[in-house]
Amino acid sequence: MNELGQCIKRISEPPYYINRHQCSKKAVVVREGKPYCRVHDPDYIKAKYNKKFVDWDKAKCNNCGVHPDKRWAYCPYCGTRVNKEL
């Protein structure tokens, strides 16, 4: 088995996000010649973002296009009833 080693991603941690260090997780995939762990894999990040955006884009007011809060029964901008199935 080919040993990939450590993830190449450099990360910062709170409180000041100044000290950057290499990710300590074991690499599981190679993208463009660089080893990444599952969390920092560019394809995983892109898929996660796209899913979030698609879900967010589905939940919008049919009348004015505002993205409603989960607690709203009616859109505060146009008064249209919010679809709770989304």
What residue ranges do the domains of the chain occupy? 1-40, 42-86
Among 44, 27, 45, smallest CA distance to 36 is for 27
Q: Give pLDDT tens digits along the chain (86 positions).
A: 346 788 988 887 777 777 788 888 899 999 888 899 988 999 999 998 888 777 777 777 888 888 888 788 888 889 988 876 54
Partner residues linked to 31 by β-bridges: 34
pLDDT at 41: 92
pLDDT at 10: 83
pLDDT at 84: 63
pLDDT at 44: 92
pLDDT at 3: 67
What are residue 49's phi and psi, to 5 degrees? Answer: -65, -45
> Is the backbone peptide bond immediately before 15 cis, with ω within 30 degrees of 0?
yes
